[in-house]
Structure 1
Amino acid sequence: MATGRGTWAYRDRFGDSFGRTFFRRFGPGVVSSIGIGTYLGDPTDEVDDRYRESLVLALENGINFIDTASNYRYGRSERVVGDAVREAEIDRDAIAIASKAGFVPFDRTRPDDPGQYIRETVLDAGLAEPDELAHGSHTIAPQFIDEMVDRSLDLTGLEHIDCYYLHNPETQLAIADRETVYDRIEAAFEVLERRVAAEDIGRYGVATWEAFRVPPEHDSYLSLPEVVRRAERAAETVGNDESGLEAIQLPFNVVMADAFTVDAHETESGELTSALWYAHEHDLHVFTSASIAQGELADGIPESVDSALSGDTPAQRALNFSRSAPGVTAALVGASSPEHVAENIAAGTFDPLGARVFDSVFE
């Protein structure tokens, strides 16, 4: 697991190569404010090899945060992450690993009959009931989440995962009312609280696509304050002294800035604030997905924003925008090739925007 001693030693080794605030506090220590994601890419051995090389390069050159998920590339991404951690000449206690569960994962390849596969591996196995399965492929049923934590540990070959997310729980709103979905989230949190107590995971979070960055009237909306309350209740039920909910993940970039601009979450004073500000005020770490809009911003950034950013390439400037927002611990970016990793690492040599300059972008 990532430790304070291990991650601070990693920061001491690489920190002088980067700009200010490149390493930021997370868990017992620090992580790089650029993290490597493993979502994109075909489920092939060739892509596995490129990812492995890319991840090792990143770990050995200053990036110590890797994000994956049980369903990414049919489970191949978790396997590759574990391989890279063992191959890199970096101690495990210097590296923070995040994974997630919610979508039913396939095993290396897409089965000929996905419906039958899901029936056999989820429904018949007693991991979820039919009315807990959204779009035929998503569930946060407690038995399923518990099984997925075990599966993630098994596929990565690691004894501990530093952060484990519920993956897109708003998907459940397609089959259940909002109160029922909150109840399901709380039940899943109880599982994760137990896994924190057992030291299988260090902490947990909620990874979303729409839930936290849309207004309350939106069909996919979930209240971040209510999710926090449910985590506190789950901790109390399990008997933990405090909630293990410490992180959220959501899209944030130059062209998808809703997490900062949409006031959707009620504060103690009754006012609404954005997901990023709520997280910032309540000590929740934010990890941004789609930080370069899944490659779109590598081709260019809107001129009104571009001039305020530092970086040699549009992708670097886009990354530096995402990691400049309040509450953001790290901006995640895919890196299925060593060339992209080198570019992403170099982005960290530039300073992020200061608060005043960042705010001025939205004036």
Structure 2
Amino acid sequence: MATARGTWAYRDRFGDSFGRTFFRRFGPGVVSSIGIGTYLGDPTDEVDEQYRESLVLALESGINLLDTASNYRHGRSERVVGEAVREADIDRDAIAVASKAGFVPFDRTRPENPAQYVRETVLDAGLATGDELAHGSHTIAPAFIDEMVDRSLDLTGLDHIDLYYLHNPETQLAIADRETVYDRIEAAFEVLERRVAADDIGRYGIATWEAFRVPADHDSYLSLPEVVRRAEQAAETVGNDESSLDAVQLPFNVVMADAFTVDAHETDDGEQTSALWYAHEHDLDVFTSASLAQGDLSREIPESVNELLTGETLAQRALNFSRSAPGVTAALVGAASPEHVAENVAAGTFDPLGARSFDAVFE
């Protein structure tokens, strides 16, 4: 598991190679403010090998945060993350590994009959009921989440995952009212609280696509304050002294800045604020997904924004924008090749925007 001693030693080894605030506090230690995600790519042996090489290079170059999920590339991404952690010339206690559960994962390849596969591995196995399954592929039923934690530990080959997310719980709003979804989130949080107490995971979070960056009247909206409250109740139910809900993952980039601009979350004094500001004010770590907008920002950035950013390439400037936002602990980016990893690592040699320059983007 990532420890204070291990991650600070990692920071001491690599920190002088990077710009201001490249390493940021997370949990008991620190993580790089650029992390490697493993979502994209075909589920093939060739892509596995590309990922393995890229992840090892990242770990040995100053990036100590790896993000994956139980369903990414049909479970292959979790496997290759574990392989890279073991292969890299970096101690395990210097590396923060995050994974997620919510979407039913396949096993290495897409089955010929996905509906039958889900029925046999989830419904018939008693991990969820039909009314807990959204779009035939998503559930946060307690038994399913518990099973997925075990599966993630097994596929990575690690004895501890540092951060475990509920994956896109707003998907459940397609089949249940909002209050029911909050109840389901709380029940899943109880499972994760127990896994924290058992030391299988270090802390947990909630990874979303739309939920926290849309207005309150949107069909996919979830209240971040209510989610925090449900985590507190889950901790109390389980008997933990305090909630281990520590993180939020959401899309944020130059052209998708809703998490900063949409005020949809109620503060303690009754005002409305953005997801990023709420997380910042309540000590939640934020990890940004889609930091390059699926690669679009590596090809073009609005000129009015581009001139404010630091970096030699468009991708580097886009990454530095995402990790400059208030409350952001790290910006996640893919690792399609060692060349892309080298470019992304180099982004960290540039300082992030200061608060005044960041605000100027929105003026």
**TM-score range with shorter-chain normalisation?**
over 0.9
Partner AA of 2:323 in structure 1: R
- Counterpart of 1:78 in structure 2 is 78
CA distance in 1, matches of 2:300, 2:85: 33
CA distance in 2, matches of 1:222, 1:347: 33
Cα deviation code 1:58-104 (max 9, x no counterpart) = 00000000000000000000000000000000000000000000000
CA distance in 2, matches of 1:61, 1:87: 14
Partner AA of 1:43 in structure 2: P
Partner AA of 2:92 in structure 1: R
Partner AA of 1:13 in structure 2: R
Partner AA of 1:221 in structure 2: Y
Cα deviation code 1:234-283 (max 9, x no counterpart) = 00000000000000000000000000000000001111000000000000
- Counterpart of 1:285 in structure 2 is 285
- Per the TM alignment, residue 178 of structure 1 is displaced from its structure 2 partner at its CA by 0.0
- Counterpart of 2:261 in structure 1 is 261
Partner AA of 1:187 in structure 2: A
- Give 3-state SS (helix, strand or coil) of 2:255's partner: coil
- Counterpart of 2:143 in structure 1 is 143
Runs (4+) off by over 2 Å? none
Cα deviation code 1:321-354 (max 9, x no counterpart) = 0000000000000012101000000000000000
Mapped pair 1:158 → 2:158: yes
> Any stretches of 5+ residues in structure 1 without a counterpart?
none
CA distance in 1, matches of 2:27, 2:82: 20
Partner AA of 1:131 in structure 2: D
Which structure 2 residues correspond to residues 305-316 of structure 1 after superposition, within 5 A?
Answer: 305-316=305-316
- Counterpart of 2:62 in structure 1 is 62
Which structure 2 residues correspond to residues 164-313 of structure 1 after superposition, within 5 A?
Answer: 164-313=164-313
CA distance in 2, matches of 1:97, 1:14: 18
- Per the TM alignment, residue 137 of structure 1 is displaced from its structure 2 partner at its CA by 0.2
Cα deviation code 1:102-150 (max 9, x no counterpart) = 0000000000000000000000000000000000000000000000000
CA distance in 1, matches of 2:337, 2:71: 20
Partner AA of 2:156 in structure 1: T
CA distance in 1, matches of 2:306, 2:134: 40
Partner AA of 2:104 in structure 1: V
CA distance in 1, matches of 2:359, 2:241: 37
TM-score, length of structure 1 as denominator length? 1.00
CA distance in 2, matches of 1:354, 1:204: 29
TM-score, length of structure 2 as denominator length? 1.00
- Per the TM alignment, residue 300 of structure 1 is displaced from its structure 2 partner at its CA by 1.5
- Give 3-state SS (helix, strand or coil) of 1:165's partner: strand
RMSD: 0.3
CA distance in 1, matches of 2:241, 2:358: 37
- Give 3-state SS (helix, strand or coil) of 1:293's partner: coil
- Give 3-state SS (helix, strand or coil) of 2:201's partner: coil
CA distance in 2, matches of 1:313, 1:147: 42
Cα deviation code 1:17-42 (max 9, x no counterpart) = 00000000001100000000000000
- Give 3-state SS (helix, strand or coil) of 2:41's partner: coil
- Per the TM alignment, residue 316 of structure 1 is displaced from its structure 2 partner at its CA by 0.2
> Any stretches of 5+ residues in structure 2 without a counterpart?
none
Partner AA of 2:183 in structure 1: D
Partner AA of 1:271 in structure 2: E
- Give 3-state SS (helix, strand or coil) of 1:35's partner: strand
- Counterpart of 2:329 in structure 1 is 329
- Give 3-state SS (helix, strand or coil) of 2:82's partner: helix
CA distance in 2, matches of 1:239, 1:70: 28
CA distance in 1, matches of 2:339, 2:43: 20
CA distance in 2, matches of 1:300, 1:256: 14
- Give 3-state SS (helix, strand or coil) of 2:295's partner: helix
CA distance in 2, matches of 1:157, 1:310: 38
- Per the TM alignment, residue 14 of structure 1 is displaced from its structure 2 partner at its CA by 0.1
Partner AA of 2:187 in structure 1: A
- Counterpart of 1:41 in structure 2 is 41
- Counterpart of 1:340 in structure 2 is 340
CA distance in 2, matches of 1:269, 1:190: 28
- Give 3-state SS (helix, strand or coil) of 1:152's partner: helix
- Give 3-state SS (helix, strand or coil) of 1:253's partner: coil
Which structure 2 residues correspond to residues 22-37 of structure 1 after superposition, within 5 A?
Answer: 22-37=22-37
Which structure 2 residues correspond to residues 57-136 of structure 1 after superposition, within 5 A?
Answer: 57-136=57-136
Q: How many residues align?
A: 363
